A and B are shown apart, each in its own frame.
Chain A
Amino acid sequence: MEKPVRCRHSPATVSAPRAEPGARGRESGRQPARDVQPPRVKGNGITMAPRLRLPSTLLFLVALLLAACQPAASGSPGSSVQPSISSAPSAAAHSVYPLTLTDDTGRQVTITAAPTRIVSLAPSNTEIVCALDACDDLFGVTDFDDYPAQVADVTDVVVGAVVDVEKVVAADPDLILAAGNGLTPTSVIDQLTGLGYPVLSLYPHDLAGVYDDISLVGEAIDAQPAADQLLTSLQARADAVATAVAGAEPPRTFYEVGVFEGSIYTAGKDSFLAALILLAGGEPITGDPASTAIQLEDLIAADPQLILLGDAAYDPTVTAASVAARAGWGEMTAVSDGHIVVVVDDVVVTRPGPRIVDGLEVLAKAIHPELFP
């Protein structure tokens, strides 16, 4: 990899960045060990189990968090093989303010006037805003934001996954786009809401959700025509993929999010990633819905026909050869047939923004190369 390894994934996480490499949970807040009696355990039992290495940890965890994206309690997995659900084009051409919207966490958010100063707390939100031609209205982004290139000049209000509330306030926003499901800490959302800012939390759990988010943002910033246009083209491309893979036999596909000291992480059951793989014409092998881990024996029993190395994109030690060499992996069909594909740009596969359809196309090409020359 040409760039120094840094996390390019979205969305901002709140876990690993706070841990120094080798830090173990509570112990970093404790005194050095003594042998004076009696021993104390306030939380020495609580450690981050694998010894974490920044930044591949970072990247891994971020991908993990995405892979663990759960559908909301309504439970619809969005895993149908149908052509993607299209959002109805908005009826009005302009938004009327004051405007009350319901965000992805169910909160009612009121926007009093067309926003001209937007702060985004997640790279996917940034991409949506820019895809709606409102990039110039961004006055705060995260340090993970890397697309499009012009956002590099915007002030980072989220550094190392920590939201700097002071910087958000200093940016004087009239709309804040946060990430739902705890990816932007709820306490931060509460704090910002308490300070009087409209905070829209976006959290799509499937492709339809991404379309809804684009629609929502379009309505929020009075950019509905741009949103409609974007949605039309995205849906067309997604439909094209779906049509192309419709007849093909879906191979058992294992998307490797990360392998850490014996734990294997993949797409969680009923997760966004699993749904995407399904849409791309594969049959996803999934892990535990909460931890996204899968036991090696379960993986061997599932016998993937195709292995997609999502972690190869940020961890140079992961290659087709290194995977084949792992103990117990040699028996898998994918390994013996040599069907191990490196996912070069895993950002598009895991970032739930407008480029997710790019990710769909990447997956489809990896799963069915013969259909997408």
Chain B
Amino acid sequence: MWKIAVGFVIFAALALYVINKGGDSLDMTGEKHGADAVHSEPAKADAPAPAADASAAK
């Protein structure tokens, strides 16, 4: 069990480093569905907010 714990700590430290390095360019909200998945340009001002799409469906 201790090996798993140590492995997890190392993995987590590495992940935190990566996320820190990635800044706000990383998207952790999961898979996109619907219009979110096919539209590459930013949402238009009058378009519904991104939250209106079921973007985190799994």
Q: Do A and B bind each other?
A: no
Q: Which residues of B pack against A, CB within 8 Å?
A: none
